[in-house]
Structure 1
């Protein structure tokens, strides 16, 4: 909830409260009808902007209490939802946003939809509250209903309206992602559960590798809170995926800490138990043994920016949106294109948007309209901006300690200036993520260079993530004032430029050098030199 000031006719200042609404869009899927409704709601009841989130949803800021029912009912009647977007339950389920007509991608997206349905609250209170009990979206695949109601291994509360959650729900929020091999657009290892489709040589999906125990949140000055990467749990056949996911959720429900919310995420349970004990308990609820995970190829980050073939005769176009903030001319242009061509869209975990189902004949006029609206093709977007993310932070988030969204543009410009100063090419880039507090909503602990707010105009600097989001960064320095960034970053960029190994990323370079050596470089830096000993 956000506090805003409003001046009354008596010229006195009172506090007025507004709300932030977050939608739930499995796989980032947004119908034409829903996008247009959200665009309208932002203007009529919000602050005139839409925020695309790192979990493939919308945030709508500035909604007054008196308007909540109108806004919520409009979203629901437009085939959208906010149910489960917040709270101690499963949040939005991620999957690759690209509308690619390939068996593994389609199966990953279908599975994400089914997991989202499986773990959606079943009580009718949500609909009673916002649409007077009318069930707008009620049809579910039979396999989802069967998996939810199955209690053969003691997973359910049989007499409860919430057979999986019961009356207490989960100890803390819960996050799931589904993807295909090589595609790490979803930051798979940052989730409580990560499911990776495994296919045979003919491309037919056979099952899933499951990874568990990821999570980003931590607290300053509490060393026993930490970000964590998910680790392998095992492989399951595709017919069992819903039962396996349910068993993991129930294990967290029954054993996750409820006495202190700072330690309630499943990553702390696994860290305490160890993966072997965790696997044993999950198998009791699953009713089967997990098979060893299948070998997978190396991961890649895929942005899906620009024009691509869908594989069904149509095109899709991925558009970069700085910090996920759709506003101004960009917002107007997107509205016009989406409405004129009746396009569906997808939201990406990197805060970008994909226009789907575009006919080839529409490519030229859409490209022209996008350029006129300031929505540039990727070759015109600074590579640093293409992978950067920031959370909303001040003034919209009550947990924020300092700036993120409003400050990241300046940080990126200063990093680009340092790149030029030390001789790094324009085409070279690093993954930069900025958050206004340690909760990690923009996943800064996976960045090559992460800024985590730790005071007014002050940040921790985290180093060591990789471009494909497979390594966890570590805290290099804290209490770095925003005005002092160049003193810390210039020597590291300079030595990366001259001392890196072939094609070595900045994150890998900082890990290889070690923090002791990097600190020495920063402390002794007096400017560029021509040679090194």
Structure 2
């Protein structure tokens, strides 16, 4: 496809001239606010897929078309189309849901999604293996418990994240409320979703149907997150727009604002790179929504709409300069940011096991390896949801917190946890409980190597090395993705692997234990033997010469295995 010239709606300045757009921008502009021909395509029985651009438009509705790559070649030999299925991602601000919502998700997974749920790295759920004919039933089932999949994918404000810290009850509740408000505010306003999935009639609107997004929405996805120090579980510096809670005596004062984070990159394309967000100042808590709007408007108006590889906000920030972007946001806000307030992050992991909040309520976080809920685990959580009177919280690290438990109800919860061995992995090594992987094969079309299915095996082999050196309980973050796109936020892990080809990965070392530093590639396009050999060398050295309380990523830099990456622009140097 070639670039087109189409007028972009600009709420800031509608007099701007015609602008050249890339193919995806043209598609959005001509989609009738994300309607396309999705409704018609769902009715076509001759194929399990949807036609043309509707595949891309459905992402805005939280749906990806995929196929089972394990059987792709066999179906090709049989002259059959790929085994097309769909992934649907739930919009779940801050990862919080009720027991009735959990039970509905379980019911829908049994009926339409191959009896499995997956907890994601953005605190929500994905249904996999959904047939086209079942998509509407799935969406309507979610509506029954006030859930949906709006803007869970696509060029819009994705699901908003929020720290999970059960010990800070009142503060977390305040920050979570703001995160949910931001999510509800930032989703697209088009009626397309209700018309396509719920069968509602199109309603006339006064003025633009999308006052913020216009006809072309955002140049690329836009991620927002709220972190509550000292835990950086959401990896706030990986967000396009991050809010770092500043509190005093447990009371929220406001937020430091960080802009321009992002993990995605492309191999062999040095103009693409991960970037950590830059803190630009402090705002009062009542300015959160205005700051979301102003920041998104800047990216909407100045993000690259011709080259999608350079369309994320991080590139806009680097191309224009942090000071220029900050001033542009301030102009739209009508006030200047205050100086950033002091804060400290100590980790980006989860508090696994039981904890008591400041309000006396109990919470239990279960480590769920790579977020996959299936079999015994799914059965046990179903039974637990039937008796649990509080909430569940999906953590940013793909685990699950059974939250808000009255102390007198704890024995019943503990009984089910023991019966179904729901905490079987809670006592895993410090490496395993700090691990994370994307889905990758067989469902992700972008994956070049295994991730979710392989990382547990690889960790077992690394654990043997750690055990030799007495480091089994040493907390070390490790993350794996099947491609360089960064869905598991690999580029800030102390150890990271990104897929290059079947059985081949890039190996990175030196990320920050609190998510505050990028890592650096040490080996390129290598297999398991080379990976274990390199890690064996570094781990042995770490065991011999680490300084008191020194983390593995810090040691890898101090010992000279990789240089410290000062800025994302130098990541590929």
Q: 1:398 deviation in Å?
A: 0.5
Is this contact kept in 2: 1:164–1:250, CA < 8 A?
yes
Structure 1: distance between partners of 2:278 and 2:523: 27
User: What are the ranges of 5 or more consecutive residues in structure 1 without an aligned counterpart?
Assistant: 136-156, 519-533
Rate the CA distance shift 1:241–1:402 in 2: closer, same or farther, 3 A: same
Rate the CA distance shift 1:332–1:309 in 2: closer, same or farther, 3 A: same
Structure 2: distance between partners of 1:102 and 1:341: 18
Question: Match for 2:410 among 345, 348, 363?
Answer: 363
Question: Match for 1:221 among 256, 265, 268?
Answer: 268
- 1:494 alignment partner in structure 2: 540
- 2:45 alignment partner in structure 1: none
Rate the CA distance shift 1:16–1:481 in 2: closer, same or farther, 3 A: closer
Is this contact kept in 2: 1:53–1:349, CA < 8 A?
yes
- 2:97 alignment partner in structure 1: 30
1:235-274 equivalent positions in 2, closer than 5 A: 235-274=282-321
Q: 1:427 deviation in Å?
A: 1.6
Matched, 1:507 2:553: yes
Q: Could you tell which deviates more after superposition, 366-375 or 40-49?
A: 366-375
Aligned pairs, how many? 493
Question: Match for 1:190 among 238, 243, 247?
Answer: 238
Is this contact kept in 1: 2:255–2:285, CA < 8 A?
yes
Rate the CA distance shift 1:182–1:429 in 2: closer, same or farther, 3 A: closer
Is this contact kept in 1: 2:482–2:498, CA < 8 A?
yes
Matched, 1:3 2:72: no
Q: Secondary structure at the match of 2:524?
A: strand
Rate the CA distance shift 1:406–1:379 in 2: closer, same or farther, 3 A: closer
Q: Secondary structure at the match of 1:498?
A: helix
Q: Secondary structure at the match of 2:526?
A: strand
- 1:51 alignment partner in structure 2: 118
1:55-134 equivalent positions in 2, closer than 5 A: 55-100=122-167, 102-133=169-200
Structure 2: distance between partners of 1:45 and 1:351: 22
Structure 2: distance between partners of 1:58 and 1:399: 19
- 1:484 alignment partner in structure 2: 530
| 1:164-208 Cα distance to aligned partner (Å, 9 max, x none) | 1111100000001112231211111100011012234x4332221
Q: Secondary structure at the match of 1:30?
A: strand
User: What are the ranges of 5 or more consecutive residues in structure 2 without an aligned counterpart?
Assistant: 1-64, 565-573
Question: Match for 1:404 among 438, 448, 451?
Answer: 451
Q: 1:343 deviation in Å?
A: 4.3
Q: Secondary structure at the match of 1:267?
A: helix
Question: Match for 2:364 among 294, 317, 328?
Answer: 317
Runs (4+) off by over 6 Å: none
1:362-511 equivalent positions in 2, closer than 5 A: 362-376=409-423, 380-421=427-468, 423-511=469-557
Rate the CA distance shift 1:313–1:424 in 2: closer, same or farther, 3 A: closer
Structure 2: distance between partners of 1:119 and 1:514: 44
Rate the CA distance shift 1:13–1:255 in 2: closer, same or farther, 3 A: closer
Q: Secondary structure at the match of 1:71?
A: helix
Structure 1: distance between partners of 2:80 and 2:258: 52
Rate the CA distance shift 1:43–1:272 in 2: closer, same or farther, 3 A: same
Is this contact kept in 1: 2:95–2:394, CA < 8 A?
yes
Is this contact kept in 2: 1:306–1:377, CA < 8 A?
no
Rate the CA distance shift 1:273–1:359 in 2: closer, same or farther, 3 A: same
Structure 2: distance between partners of 1:204 and 1:343: 23
| 1:429-475 Cα distance to aligned partner (Å, 9 max, x none) | 31110000000000110110000111120000111112211111111
- 2:221 alignment partner in structure 1: 173
| 1:9-57 Cα distance to aligned partner (Å, 9 max, x none) | xx98553311000001001011222211111111111121100000001
Q: Give the TM-score taking structure 2 as reference length.
A: 0.82
Structure 2: distance between partners of 1:424 and 1:99: 31
Structure 2: distance between partners of 1:516 and 1:2: 37
Structure 1: distance between partners of 2:174 and 2:206: 30
Is this contact kept in 1: 2:368–2:400, CA < 8 A?
yes
Question: Match for 2:341 among 283, 294, 297?
Answer: 294
Structure 2: distance between partners of 1:517 and 1:66: 52
Q: 1:516 deviation in Å?
A: 6.7
Structure 1: distance between partners of 2:475 and 2:125: 27
Q: CA RMSD in A?
A: 2.2
Rate the CA distance shift 1:313–1:269 in 2: closer, same or farther, 3 A: same
Is this contact kept in 1: 2:491–2:511, CA < 8 A?
yes
Rate the CA distance shift 1:287–1:189 in 2: closer, same or farther, 3 A: same
Structure 2: distance between partners of 1:460 and 1:393: 15
